[in-house]
Amino acid sequence: MTLPYFQVDTRNEHLVTLAGKHGSLWNEFNQKLDISWIYHDHGMEGVVLQVQEIGVALNQKVVSDDSFLPMYQEIKNLQACVDQLRTLLESARNKEKVTRAMIQRCYDTMVHKLRGIPKGDGLRQDDTRHGAYYHRCCGYKEVDAGLDTFVDFFNSLTIEKQHPLVSAAQLHYRFMGLMPYGRFSGRVARWLTNLFLMRHGYPALVLHTAERARYYESLAFDDESELIFLFTDAMNATVESALQYVHHGLEERRKKREAYKVARRKREESAKRKRETPKAQKSASAPRKLKAVADTPTGKKARSASKRRSS
């Protein structure tokens, strides 16, 4: 743990401990974090989404306007990439080396069923600018060899040499220097960044839409130094949000337990009072049963009375 990253590492260690003890709350937070990832990642590409649009796309609801179908498909594809990442991290293949095939699968998932995507591997075939990115990147003829170099660099990174946030910023900066794909290079770069960070015990790093201009400016610098600061701030925000969510969930659970105990105690006290009520009080409170009185005598009295009348 190095001094510049002492706060984020200390808080993250606390988060890891809480996540191990309260897995259900941690899973709930990750579900919400995935929605945040989808929302802000689109914002980084200049697309403003509504939360309900993400819900419609992910819940397979019927879309009344066909013009929204491409956007909904894009949302589904990004969610599929996030699911692939989490599945990879939970499987025995978690520590396997990154390969070009793995990167290609990520890209193929992102462009699945989208319109206007050229056939093939999607690598750039010209030096035309794509999207709002304006940083320097290599020529398209250097992309193929550059990807091989990037894969070797990714697999050579270790946390013993430098902090994971520094390494994450370096690999992100290098990948964006390649801009290998005609579309979604930034999205693939952010996926690879989270693959590296989550392998080393950090939550998913989500760059908020409000930091879009800062993100582009960081890529335009001569090195990854500004990107390191941006990633550190973003990770701090994610860790703090996670801690607040877990602590709030634990407090809500505590309140529910206390309310349940109070209700149970009241039920027990009520049942005890009923058991301890005196029988006399019960009989006094119950309505009295009156004996029926016959108007005419019966039995021996009736026979003697009949004899007296006959004599």
| 190: CATH | 1.10.3290.10
Within a domain: 165: yes
* CA separation, residue 15 to residues 25, 26, 203 (Å): 11, 9, 9
CB 207 within 8 A of CB 234: yes
Within a domain: 54: no
User: Would the pLDDT of 305 be above 80?
Assistant: no
User: Would the pLDDT of 195 be above 80?
Assistant: yes
pLDDT of the residue at 277: 75
Segment 292-308 mean pLDDT: 58
Is the whole model's pTM more than 0.75, yes or no? yes
- pLDDT band, residue 186 (cuts 50/70/90): very high
Average pLDDT taken over every residue of the chain: 89
pLDDT of the residue at 14: 96
Beta-bridged to residue 181, according to DSSP, are 123
pLDDT of the residue at 234: 97
Interhelix angle 143-156/100-110, rounded to 10 degrees, is 110
- pLDDT band, residue 63 (cuts 50/70/90): low
With a pLDDT cut of 90, the percent of the chain lying above it is 72
Within a domain: 149: yes
Segment 294-298 mean pLDDT: 56
Rounded Cα–Cα distance for residues 143 and 141 (Å): 6
* CA separation, residue 85 to residues 179, 191, 192, 197 (Å): 21, 8, 9, 12
Rounded Cα–Cα distance for residues 30 and 41 (Å): 16
Within a domain: 99: no
Within a domain: 72: no
Within a domain: 278: no
Give the tokens for residue 128: 């035309």
How many domains does the chain divide into? 1
* CA separation, residue 78 to residues 57, 108, 195 (Å): 11, 11, 14
Within a domain: 103: no
With a pLDDT cut of 70, the percent of the chain lying above it is 86
- pLDDT band, residue 298 (cuts 50/70/90): low
- pLDDT band, residue 4 (cuts 50/70/90): confident
Higher-confidence position of 282 and 50: 50
- Tell me the residue range of the domain where 148 lies: 7-46+139-252
Max CA distance (Å), the chain:
145
CB 224 within 8 A of CB 172: yes
Residue type, 158: T
- Cα three-residue angle 225-228-229, rounded to 5 degrees: 95
| Count of alpha carbons within 13 angstroms of residue 184, beta-carbon side | 23
Segment 202-211 mean pLDDT: 96
Rounded Cα–Cα distance for residues 261 and 25 (Å): 22
Q: Which residues, 6+ apart, have CB-to-CB distance to 70 below 8 Å?
A: 114, 115
* Residue range 79-117, pLDDT digits in tens: 999 999 999 999 878 888 999 999 999 999 999 999 888
User: Would the pLDDT of 306 be above 90?
Assistant: no
Segment 191-196 mean pLDDT: 98
Please tell me the least confidently modeled range out of 58-72, 90-104, 108-122, 285-299. Answer: 285-299
Within a domain: 60: no
Beta-bridged to residue 123, according to DSSP, are 181
Interhelix angle 69-90/185-199, rounded to 10 degrees, is 20
Residues 229, 204, 100, 91: is their CA dihedral positive or negative?
positive
User: Would the pLDDT of 67 be above 90?
Assistant: no
Which residue in this structure is represented by tokens 């801690």? 243
CA 173 to chain centre: 26
pLDDT of the residue at 262: 94
Give the tokens for residue 243: 């801690």
